[in-house]
């Protein structure tokens, strides 16, 4: 089963919490706060693996969460940083943010790419000691790690893409010029998945060719196999357009040629402008008039034209030599420009998480906000400074303003994660 697209949820590890601790030692009175900081959460890292050929594994596992950093400890000991979670994907995988379609990374090179950064560890209470606050009984929770829902799209890395109607001989051609062994039969859609083959001209010179299935008229609109595999042509530096010049299936080769080019343009204008070489196949059963007619049409478009018979391995060597010569003059395989989120955008993303909902039941105001749990559990309500911090968070996040808009009065009860307190204006 060939899978070239998948959606998964990824989340970097949260930072460890800071520690609330006070130095205890014989003969040392009032040793002071000594709580250490939390460790950093693990990053989510993507890396190319040439042993993988598709994204099948991601159909069965859709959630990837890195480990949380360890909490701080007494004696100012910092918690251990969590290990990174490395996700291996086939080379050529594009990672997009599902919500916006923004390309976060193109995993085409050998360097691993960090997509989600782990949260920083929270500060221990030793960091909050001052001359006026000598006994801080609170610490900060760790920061949350980045999280995304991402779409993985595999765009095969090949120098040359074979396109053309079904049954024109693409599979036969790749089988005779490379070591690839695709299924070959005399019916449409024999090839159901892209086939890669390495064409070796000699010991030092070679290139990668891909047989792209599923192209018929209307493919870009979902006809046949649809445009499911058109994405695999996008990286190709050169297109070999294979045409059955014999008209063995009672189709006009010129109309076939134009229909395929329209599908390429409908899918991507940039793809339609890629360099093309025309391979007129099945010349062994075509009449000279049929070959001449199509050659004149290709010449009128300024396209290189080669007469071949893949079944008889006729003209294929000359075609491959011409392809290699043309590749030597073309730019390298296309890489898609990534635009990871900036620090400012990440900050906005964190702020956007701070949504909340307030409901009233039997005179009690219930505040629901997932992000508030981290704040609440870090506060010591018996400590005045910690309580002030909690009140500042409620004010800056807009929760108090919302309560006042809903008509809360002094003395009314507010419930946050079952922690209840009386509202004081």
Residue 311 token pair: 């079944």
Give DSSP secondary structure letters for 368-393: E-TTHHHHHHH--TTSHHHHHHHHHH
pTM of the full structure: 0.70
The domains located in the chain, with CATH, are 1-155 (2.70.210.12), 160-327 (3.40.50.300), 350-422 (3.30.300.350)
Q: What contacts 24+ positions apart, CB below 8 Å, involve 184-189?
A: 188/216, 189/213, 189/214, 189/224, 189/225
pLDDT of residue 42: 96
Residue of higher predicted confidence among 45 and 232: 45
CB contact at 8 A, 310 and 243: no
Residue of higher predicted confidence among 413 and 375: 413
pLDDT digits (tens, 9 = 90+) for 102-132: 999 999 889 999 999 999 998 998 988 887 7
pLDDT digits (tens, 9 = 90+) for 368-386: 887 787 677 767 777 777 7
Cβ neighbours of residue 140 closer than 8 Å, sequence gap 6 or more: 17, 18, 122, 123, 378
What is d(CA 304, CA 310) in angstroms, rounded to the nearest whole number?
Answer: 18
């Amino acid at each position: 089963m060939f899978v070239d697209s998948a959606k998964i949820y990824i989340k970097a590890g949260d930072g460890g919490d800071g520690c609330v601790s006070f130095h205890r030692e014989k003969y040392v009175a009032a040793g002071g706060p000594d709580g250490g900081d939390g460790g950093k959460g693990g990053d989510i890292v993507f890396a190319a693996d040439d042993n993988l050929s598709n994204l099948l594994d991601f159909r069965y596992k859709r959630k990837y969460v890195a480990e949380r950093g360890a909490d701080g400890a007494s004696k100012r000991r910092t918690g251990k940083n969590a290990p990174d979670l490395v996700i291996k994907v086939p080379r050529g995988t594009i990672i997009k943010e599902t919500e916006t379609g923004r390309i976060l990374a193109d995993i085409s090179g050998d360097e691993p790419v960090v997509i989600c950064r782990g949260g920083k560890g929270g500060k221990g209470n030793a960091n909050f000691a001052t001359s006026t606050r000598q006994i801080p009984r609170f610490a900060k929770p760790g920061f949350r790690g980045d999280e995304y829902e991402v779409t993985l799209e595999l765009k095969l890395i090949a120098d040359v893409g074979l396109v053309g109607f079904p049954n024109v001989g693409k599979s036969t051609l790749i089988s005779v010029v490379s070591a690839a062994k695709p299924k070959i039969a005399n019916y449409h859609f024999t090839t159901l998945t892209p086939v890669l083959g390495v064409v070796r001209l000699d010991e030092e010179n070679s290139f990668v060719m891909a047989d792209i299935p599923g192209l018929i008229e209307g493919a870009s609109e979902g006809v046949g196999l649809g445009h499911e595999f058109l994405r695999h042509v996008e990286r190709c530096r050169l297109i070999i357009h294979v045409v059955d010049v014999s008209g063995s299936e009672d189709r006009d080769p010129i109309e076939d040629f134009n229909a395929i080019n329209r599908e390429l343009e409908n899918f991507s204008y940039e793809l339609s402008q890629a360099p093309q070489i025309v391979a007129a196949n099945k010349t062994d059963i075509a009449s000279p008039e049929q070959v001449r007619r199509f050659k004149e049409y290709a010449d009128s478009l300024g396209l290189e034209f080669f007469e071949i018979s893949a079944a008889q391995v006729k003209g294929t060597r000359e075609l491959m030599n011409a392809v290699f010569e043309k590749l030597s003059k073309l730019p390298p395989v296309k890489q898609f420009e990534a635009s990871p989120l900036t620090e400012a955008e990440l900050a906005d993303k964190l702020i956007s998480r701070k949504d909340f909902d307030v409901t009233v039941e039997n005179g009690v105001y219930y505040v629901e906000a997932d992000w508030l749990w981290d704040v609440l559990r870090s506060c010591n309500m018996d400590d005045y400074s910690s309580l002030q911090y909690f009140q500042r968070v409620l004010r800056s996040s807009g929760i108090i303003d919302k309560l006042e808009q809903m008509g809360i009065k002094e003395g009314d009860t507010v419930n946050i994660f079952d922690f209840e307190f009386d509202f004081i204006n």
